[in-house]
Amino acid sequence: MVLVQVSYSLVLREEENMHQTIQDGLEDFLAGTARREERVRIEEHLRDCPACRQEVDYMREMSGLFASLRSPDPPQPSPGFYARVASHIEKQQPESFWAAILEPAFGRRVALACLLVLATLGTVLMTRETEYATGPSPEMILAVERDAPVESTPLVDRDQMLFTLASHQQ
């Protein structure tokens, strides 16, 4: 009998629309938390409108049915429930930044990357150093001597040129 009445109320609700005056504050009115002026406005409309009054009565009846389904004493959690929840929460905590760095596998990868960078930099420096190890070219020496001041005597210049040409390697 109750199920038939509930389903009839749902069908009736779909067929008829409540007035906007009721819909605006109906939830607070049914819960008993509506402001005084809103409650007075809704009660006046319910006195004048039998369709809205019937719909509100059905809603109160549904609310009573739902309240009767509520257990008188709420269930208590099993022993150790809160401890298990706390341990699950601790397991889900993100690891710190330092824990990831201090991990042995990560440390080995960082060490290998550092060695590769050092080897690459060493190779680059060695190739650059060998370019400068041969010394200046004869053309560069002659260009410098041409631009040198004219204070020296021709005999000194000739000796210096012979020494430079003799020491040049190819």
CA distance 6 to 170: 108
CA distance 17 to 49: 12
Residue 43's nearest CA partner among 20, 64, 22 is 22
pLDDT, tens digit, 9 for 90 and up, residues 120-147: 999 888 887 665 556 666 677 666 666 6
Cα four-point dihedral sign 74, 80, 86, 88: negative
pLDDT at 51: 85
pLDDT at 118: 94
List the end-to-end C-alpha distance of the chain, in Å, as a whole number: 115
Residue with the two structure tokens 């809704």 = 42
Question: Which of the residues in the chain have pLDDT under 50?
Answer: 1-15
pLDDT at 148: 58
> Chain centroid to CA 155: how far?
80
Residue 31's nearest CA partner among 44, 42, 20, 15 is 42
CA distance 134 to 107: 42
The DSSP 8-state label assigned to residue 151 in this structure reads T
* Residue-range domain boundaries for the chain: 2-69, 98-133, 138-167
